[in-house]
Amino acid sequence: MAGSTLAAKRMVCDHVHSVGGMITSMLVTNNCCVLCKCSAQILYSAYLEDQKKHRSKVVAGEKRKALND
């Protein structure tokens, strides 16, 4: 499990415990869910874009290395 996933899981567990230890005690509104979904989608898109840039840099470095050899 990635460090960010573990941290997110821990945050959820801490919040559940702070509202009484039961998920049914949590107040979840439709607006809250929409905002969470949107922010998660933005973060995931940024993550994918970073991975794409990283892969292109690696490929460019490998090509440059192959040309030098």
User: In terms of pLDDT, which residue wins out, 51 or 67?
Assistant: 51
What sign does the CA torsion over 49, 55, 58, 60 have?
negative
Tell me which residue range forms the domain holding 33.
3-68
Token code pair at residue 1: 């499990």
pTM of the model: 0.50
Q: What is the pLDDT of residues 4-60, one digit of tens each?
A: 788 888 888 887 788 777 666 666 666 777 788 888 889 999 999 999 999 999 988
Count up the domains in the chain and report the number: 1
Task: Quote the CA–CA distance of 64 and 69 in Å, as a whole number.
Answer: 9
